[in-house]
Amino acid sequence: MQANFSKELEARLVRYVEIDTQSDESSPSEPSTAIQLDLLRLLRDELIGLGVSDVSLTDYGTVLATIPANPANSQAPTIAFLGHVDTAPAFNATGVKAIVHHQYNGDPIVLPDDPSQVLDPDALPYLKARIGDDIITASGTTLLGGDDKAGVAIIIALAGHLLNNPTIPHGAVRLCFTPDEEIGRGVHPRLPADLGAAVAYTLDGAERGEFVYESFSADKAVVKVTGVSTHPGAAKGKMVNALNLMAKILDSLPQHTRTPETTDERQGFIHAYKVDGTAAQAELHFILRDFERDGLAAHGDLIRAICTAIQIGEPRAHIECTITPQYRNMRYWLENDMRPVDLAKQAIEQAGLSPFTRPIRGGTDGSRLTEQGVPTPNLFTGMQNIHGPLEWISVQDMAKATEVCVNLVQLWAQEK
């Protein structure tokens, strides 16, 4: 089955990644960038061309479609597969030039548009393990965008395979392509109802064989500092510089713990990732991450306490801290019914792989869907080194992921 998928997946991924779909956190629109609609419309049209039913592009920028159940499996639960079209704002995503390294020979891969960017198999054990595979990279000056256009390509390949092989038993299968996952806005409030699925899977994971049912819990914090502005030539005793107060807030946070660069495994963090402002007013943006609710709350409490202390020390300023929930660890809900997880493990085993799971130091649309009543574990696609110029993926990993999805629809067809 794997050989049947590889050429299609390669062609689809190369075509999709060359369409710029970067999301923008600062934009209030749905989706956050109009360029995401370029790929969403293409996917809508491709699904219609394949003969998929009920294809639509919603007003909030999500493509939905259905592969109807076989008549004999009409009572099986409806399952859904999701991929997100946007790429991360963390690195340049304009002008992606995908390069396919067929039958990778194990040598370092030098990316031609920036020869300083090198994929070294001695430093990347997973790349060394993929010798003989077809490896797709970008050219060195952009990310690739396999996160998550690999997932999108896998889902389209799954759809075509099911439609071309009507004897494969399956219940109703819903297909879903979302925008803005990278900025935490992929699951619109109407999506769970519009999806209409009892269970779902995101195709947004890494190494072959991986399945994920535990993610970070996440909040966003924005600290707004308003100082007192006056002409600097006559500022003595009058000016309160918002930038200086913002620096004090940063300096008061732990520098050797609770940051992304000092934590791993199950440790959470506070990550200051964006600064805007002037001496008059400044904003500081954080993401807060932890696997447990208490740990996440402690991160927020620490930022609030620091802001309060600095506010007391400079009463002429105004410091406002706003913490907004983003998503929660999907484990809290999935552990109540592990059937979606257990069947994912079984589907991976049927594909001849050794399944493994580990908590993901991030989140997917599945985190929010699970919280809203649609259990949604995450499955591997093969993507590696995401969000940067050294991103790469194995076509054969994508093919194995497609095989796992075919297995899953058959396993769910047996559930009534």
Place of tokens 């706003």: 322
Catalytic residue among 20, 181, 182, 210: 181
Token pair belonging to 294: 């208490």
Catalytic-residue membership of 219: no
Q: Are 278 and 227 in contact (CB under 8 A)?
A: no
Angle at 157 between CA 56 and CA 1, to 5 degrees: 155
Query: Do the beta carbons of residue 91 and residue 188 sit within 8 Å?
Result: no
Tokens of 69: 């159940």
DSSP 8-state class, residue 71: G
What is d(CA 273, CA 288) in angstroms, rounded to the nearest whole number?
Answer: 11
| Both tokens assigned to 362 | 């991030």
Active-site residue, 8 included? no
Residues 6+ apart with CB under 8 A from 84: 148, 151, 152, 177, 178, 179, 180, 181, 182, 186, 204, 365
Q: Considering 86, 182, 210, 365, which one is annotated as catalytic? A: 86
Helices (H) then strands (E): counts for the chain: 11, 16
Site of tokens 């996952």: 181
Q: Spell out where 114-258 has E strands.
A: 118-119, 135-137, 173-178, 199-205, 211-212, 217-226
* Active site residue ranges: 86, 181
